[in-house]
Amino acid sequence: MRVINMALTLICLIYAASIYMIGSGTFSFMIWLCGALFFGAAFYLSGNGRWYRIPSTIRIICCVAISLILIVTAVCLALMLSCFNDKGIKDLDYIVVLGAQMRDDGPSTIFRYRLDAAYEYLTENPGTICVVSGGKGVNEDASEGEGGRNYLISRGVVPSRVIAENRAMDTSENIAYSLELIEQSESGSDKLKIGIVTNNFHLFRGIHLARKITDNDIYGIAAYTLPWYLPNNMARECFGIVRDLRKMSLK
């Protein structure tokens, strides 16, 4: 067991370094540093009977806390996986692309995957309108909505089919402000069919945030994520699901 704990410590350290080096602008690499500390402590305590020299009350509290964290994490992962391969349906009225970081040279890799999934859908469904959502962060030169719109137009999408939403600063606002734009444009219309486009790990939260605040039919369209970064993104998303659970409809 000590060998496993040491191996997991090293894996977490290497993975934390790889996440830090991509410079995503977030501190998610700290999750893996915390993991390295946890497994390093487990390695230390599992030697020479150190664990059993800790008072039993503290050991019980630690075991209960770890069990609760594992249960919550497992549930969040299962919820994410339930939407991992969603592809929506044909002829949606609108699709909403959830924003991600804009860089100096254009959309970040993760944002580009979302936009590419939207482009593919728009190409196959010429009657669908797209809303690209996201405001301008402190480390961005352009809003995510406008940058994403320009990217789609550069790929050949007709400008009249792409609307930029430029206010949202998080996932909840991406959904709320985009649906607000759609409902203003379609006032008095029958129930709409709307697709949420985002990376596979992020799709469960996007769908169920939308279903909480609209009676329109909501579908998911999953975009690709590089496998190497998927563990990091899924770990971050666990925090997002827990934080936003009260804002979500689990229907």
What are the strands, taking DSSP E only, across 89-223?
94-98, 102-103, 106-107, 129-133, 162-165, 193-199, 217-223
Enumerate residues 6+ apart whose C-beta is below 8 A from 11: none
Q: How many CB atoms lie within 10 A of CB 131?
A: 26
- Strands ordered across the beta sheet of 94-98: 162-165, 129-133, 94-98, 193-199, 217-223
Q: Are residues 180 and 113 in the same domain?
A: yes
* Residue 82 confidence (pLDDT): 96
pLDDT (tens digit per residue) in 41-55: 999 999 988 999 999
Q: Are residues 182 and 233 in the same domain?
A: yes
Instruction: Determine, yes or no, domain membership for 129.
Output: yes
Q: Are residues 75 and 98 in the same domain?
A: no
pLDDT (tens digit per residue) in 74-118: 999 999 999 999 999 999 999 999 999 998 889 999 999 999 999
Q: Are residues 13 and 53 in the same domain?
A: yes
Shortest CA distance to 112 belongs to which of 132, 94, 130, 91?
132
pTM of the model: 0.91
* Residue 1 confidence (pLDDT): 82
* Residue 242 confidence (pLDDT): 96
| Amino acid in position 179 | L
Q: Are residues 20 and 49 in the same domain?
A: yes
Map tokens 């936003």 to a residue. 244
Of the residues 81, 111, 132, the one at which a domain ends: 81
Q: Are residues 153 and 77 in the same domain?
A: no
* Residue 149 confidence (pLDDT): 96
Instruction: Determine, yes or no, domain membership for 116.
Output: yes
Q: Are residues 60 and 141 in the same domain?
A: no
Instruction: Determine, yes or no, domain membership for 62.
Output: yes
Of the residues 81, 112, 143, the one at which a domain ends: 81
User: pLDDT 10s digit of each residue in the chain, 251 long?
Assistant: 889 999 999 999 999 999 998 876 678 899 999 999 999 999 999 998 899 999 999 999 999 999 999 999 999 999 999 999 999 999 999 999 999 999 888 999 999 999 999 999 999 999 999 999 999 988 788 899 999 999 999 999 999 999 999 999 999 999 999 999 998 888 767 889 999 999 999 999 999 999 999 999 999 999 999 999 999 999 999 999 999 999 998 86
Instruction: Determine, yes or no, domain membership for 89.
Output: no
What are the strands, taking DSSP E only, across the chain?
94-98, 102-103, 106-107, 129-133, 162-165, 193-199, 217-223
Q: Are residues 202 and 98 in the same domain?
A: yes
Domain around 19: 2-81
Instruction: Determine, yes or no, domain membership for 224.
Output: yes
Instruction: Determine, yes or no, domain membership for 144.
Output: yes
Q: Are residues 159 and 227 in the same domain?
A: yes
Q: Are residues 140 and 230 in the same domain?
A: yes
Instruction: Determine, yes or no, domain membership for 86.
Output: no
Task: Provide the CATH number for the domain around residue 177.
Answer: 3.40.50.620
Of the residues 47, 81, 115, the one at which a domain ends: 81
Token pair listed for 111: 């944002």
* Residue 248 confidence (pLDDT): 92
Q: How many domains does the chain have?
A: 2
Instruction: Determine, yes or no, domain membership for 43.
Output: yes
Q: Are residues 63 and 146 in the same domain?
A: no
* Residue 25 confidence (pLDDT): 62
Q: Are residues 207 and 228 in the same domain?
A: yes
